[in-house]
Amino acid sequence: MARMPPVPVTALPRVQDRMSFLYLEHCVVHREDGALTARNDQGIIRVPAASLVAVFLGPGTSVSHQAMSLLGECGTTAVWVGERGVRYYAHGRSLATSTRLLVEQAARVSSPQKRLRVAREMYCMRFSGEDVHGLTMQQLRGREGARVRETYRENSRRTGVPWARRDYRPDDFEASDPINQALSAAHAALYGIVHGVIVALGCSPGLGFVHTGHERSFVYDVADLYKAETTIPIAFDVVAESMTDLTGTTRRRVRDKVFELRIIERAVRDIHQLLEVGEADDLSVNVVSLWDYQRRAVAGGANYAEEAGAW
């Protein structure tokens, strides 16, 4: 079978125009031209791969080389998840051929003053109406902890679901109570979506501002911006309604809420704002330059042997 040539990155849908995620389990995943196919004993479904931010591949999933090639070409994040969707194993390539956002991210992470400024901006995005100018990281953590604790209590009062504290073991999902299981499933889905957005924009998932030292630190930073209005109330609602399929219902509601609140578009906008890069800036310029201390960059593909100091 003749293979279709890869679609140019500039012809692919922007990440903010894509659907959040597709969860698959107990099926064979393959490709048919530009579509991702999922087959089981009930039939075959076809999904345009480039229309998704992420594909969650659950237990019992078998994926062909051609399918993974398609996801890579489309910049769609492939997420292998274990039971209850709590593991993350891989991702697709970036939709940005420019490193502009990545360079700005690294510059701010590397400067304590700039990093603190970004952390303050993140706090203001989460909790509007507070003046955090001049607060230290310790003070920000204290305020954030108090606000998040109140968010949990507020949702507990609203739904009648008892709440003690966030308590879970990554290696033993069943050891948690239902509300903590629902929170873990909801957060995992949100992390997958945010990770897909970050990778698609060409940023580093590991260069966080509030979180640090983990390969997904920036994922946790960005996801925290939306938990209070998405995953936390969803988890309490699902437990209050005594759903039998706790994790499946939670994932579907997260997907619906992400669409309703336009979280993908907001994440793109918020990342640009945090890194002070205009959304209108062209991040698809596919040009390789050479770094220069005085001029920042010079054209690549040229011979500079005649420059002063050569040999």
Q: Does 310 score more than 90 pLDDT?
A: no
Residue 110 falls inside a structural domain: yes
Domain end marker among 20, 54, 85 = 85
pTM for this predicted structure: 0.77
Residue 305 banded pLDDT, cuts 50, 70, 90: low
Question: Number of structural domains, the chain?
Answer: 2
Q: 35: domain range?
A: 9-85
Higher pLDDT, 84 or 259: 259
Summarised one tens digit per residue, pLDDT across range 1-28 is 455 566 666 667 777 788 888 888 899 9
Terminal Cα distance for the chain, rounded:
54
Residues 76 and 109 reside in one and the same domain: no
Domain end marker among 85, 113, 140 = 85
Beta bridge partners of 19: 52
121 annotated ligand binder: no
Residue 117 falls inside a structural domain: yes
Residue 90 falls inside a structural domain: no
Rounded distance between C-alpha atoms, residue 285 and residue 98, angstroms: 6
Residues 112 and 179 reside in one and the same domain: yes
Summarised one tens digit per residue, pLDDT across range 26-84 is 999 999 877 899 999 999 999 988 888 888 888 899 999 999 888 888 878 888 877 66
Residue pointed to by tokens 């290696």: 171
177 annotated ligand binder: no
Residues 51 and 106 reside in one and the same domain: no
Residues 133 and 215 reside in one and the same domain: yes
22 and 55 Cβ atoms separated by less than 8 Å: yes
Residues 59 and 206 reside in one and the same domain: no
Give the pLDDT score at 1.
45
CATH for 235: 1.20.120.920
Residues 266 and 191 reside in one and the same domain: yes
Residues 159 and 256 reside in one and the same domain: yes
Higher pLDDT, 20 or 109: 109
Summary mean pLDDT of the chain: 85
Residue 149 falls inside a structural domain: yes
Beta pairing class for 27-32 and 35-40: antiparallel
Summarised one tens digit per residue, pLDDT across range 133-143 is 889 999 999 99
Residue 184 falls inside a structural domain: yes
Residues 126 and 80 reside in one and the same domain: no
| Amino acid making up residue 304 | Y
- Tokens representing residue 23 in the block: 């969860």
Residues 207 and 262 reside in one and the same domain: yes
Summarised one tens digit per residue, pLDDT across range 263-278 is 999 999 999 999 999 8
229 annotated ligand binder: no
Residues 28 and 154 reside in one and the same domain: no
Residue 200 banded pLDDT, cuts 50, 70, 90: confident
